[in-house]
Amino acid sequence: MENALNSWLVGQEVQLEVEKAILGGKFMGSASDGRVAWLKSAKALAIGDLVTAKVLKLAKRSYELEVLSINQESSTHSPPFCPHIQQCGGCPWQALPIEQQIQSLSRDIDRMLSRAVGHEVKWLTPYQEDEQAWRHTARLHSDGKGRLGFYGPQGLLDLPHCPVFVPTLNQILEATRQLLPYLSEAPAEIRISVAQDQSSGTLALELHGIWSEEALQNLQKAIAELLPSANVIHGVSLLAHRQDLVLKAMPTRRAQHKSAKQNSARHKKSRKHNSKKRPKRSTPSLASTLQQYPEVYLTWGKAYNQLSTAAHPASAFMQAHQSGNQALVKQVIKGAEQAENILELYAGSGNFTRPLAKAKANRHILALEYDRSAVAALNQYAQQEQLNIMAQAQDIAQLPQDHFDHIILDPPRAGATPIIEALADSDTKYITYISCHPAALARDLESLCHKGWTLEYAKLFHLFPHSGHAEVYCRLYKPNTSEV
């Protein structure tokens, strides 16, 4: 009865303390009736802040509230460094000291993994770095209307500058914006990247939908003119009319089609009546459209970055925190130091592959990756450096039949669901699993441990400062296998 009397009502304004920062960039407090109070805030919060918030939703065990004002900042509250924090949402922990960020991440990830594996996890000392400008690569979006930036809670944020970009990456962003007048045909994804301590980097454009020949020619001309004038860009790649990129424009078309059908009953009747008199218009299939507009892949200059670990194609994935990535690579090498025959899944362009091959003589590595450009780059440099690496471009849906004494995987955020059963049943001795998504990692670890694997130790890498996310390294073994 007391709890019912103390319960909050939707629309009520209440005062409470921010008690915890939660994995994913969230914050929470406690309601007067003991329920969890989840806090949505456009303002930068810190643990210990006293706030006024409005109750938005009521659930069985929690409330959702919107922070209206910060009445009193805690002694550890740091001033936010970015003017776009309310519109962007990419760095919600700006007011939280790095130490508290790591403590919060460690607490939540440890709870998640311990529950998944059924025992207390042994954690190595976490990796951290206090540098504010840490990002060396970014995937941006152009809406085809002259805006370029990240998608936030309020839509696309036009971004001329980002405080977490290293200086050269901001210069590449500034130069890239010169292409916006030529990106008006349809939306596009744009990746800008730079290697650590380098004065120039790369630009990769992936164009959604179908682009006319004239628009493509104008864009190509603009790129060719930009490259020599923008000395911060040494290479550009352009991809258009690939099936997945064409399909990315389809939801917009479907939405427009749905909107067009929402007319009055009178118009619907009229269309039905007149349809017998008009010949039906056929919609061309995707296959016939792609036949008419063949795939376009072009490069200018040196469309790759020479990282300390690998030659990275402009369009391929790379770790944004480069100094943190080097620490992660060292940990992977140490965890597999005795392995001689390694299978690497989701190998990319060789971020782990090349350092692993160089670290031990006569070590053989089979690297699987679905990005063909990344695989081509890895094979090329393996041949040049005479490394025992064989990289293959393929969907990772099954394991090779060969025997490996160590399997290393760094899958996308969704985890390794397609391959997890095969991993669990494999006769390998050790597995190294790296993940940026603790929930997917916990799910996969639970499957592995159910089949007899043991999580030996783990390590948190704070590779995404201020975001509420982290990279996690895990090493697993089977107790019934002898050490390599």
Query: Residue 194 has which token pair?
Result: 């730079």
- Architecture of domain 12-77 in CATH? Beta Barrel (2.40)
Residue pLDDT tens, the chain, 484 long: 345 557 999 999 999 999 999 999 999 999 999 999 999 998 899 999 999 999 999 999 999 999 999 999 999 999 999 989 888 889 999 999 999 999 999 999 999 999 999 999 999 999 998 889 999 999 999 999 999 999 988 899 999 999 999 999 999 999 999 999 999 999 999 999 999 999 999 999 999 999 999 999 999 999 999 999 989 999 999 999 998 898 887 654 444 444 444 444 445 544 555 555 555 544 566 667 677 888 999 999 999 999 888 888 999 888 999 999 999 999 999 999 999 999 999 999 999 999 999 999 899 999 999 988 889 989 998 998 899 999 999 888 889 988 999 999 999 999 999 999 999 999 999 999 999 999 999 999 999 999 999 999 999 999 999 999 999 999 999 987 544 4
Q: Do domains 12-77 and 137-247+288-304 have the same CATH topology?
A: yes
Domain ranges of the chain: 12-77, 100-129+321-346+396-477, 137-247+288-304
Read off the pTM.
0.88
Crossing angle of helices 98-117 and 438-450, rounded to 10°: 30
Q: In 10 A of CB 418, how many CB atoms?
A: 13
Amino acid at 252: T
Alpha-carbon distance of 226 to 229, in angstroms, equals 5
What whole-number distance in Å separates Cα of residue 80 and Cα of residue 134? 16
Quote the DSSP letter at residue 418: G
Which DSSP string do the residues of 26-47 spell out, in sequence order?
EEEEE-TTS-EEEEE-SS---T
* CA–CA separation, 121 and 125 (whole Å): 13
**Rounded distance, CA 255 to CA 215, Å?**
24
Query: Tell me, what's the pLDDT at 198?
Result: 95
**CATH of 137-247+288-304 among 2.40.50, 1.10.238, 2.102.10, 1.20.1250:** 2.40.50
E strand or H helix that includes residue 472: strand 471-477
Q: Is 221 exposed, middle or buried (0-12, 13-18, 19+ CB in 10 A)?
A: exposed
Q: Which residues of 182-205 are buried (b: 16+ CB within 10 A; e: fewer)?
A: bbebbbbbbbbbbbeebebbbbbb
| Dist CA 136 CA 197 (whole Å) | 10
- 100-129+321-346+396-477 has which fold? Rossmann fold (3.40.50)
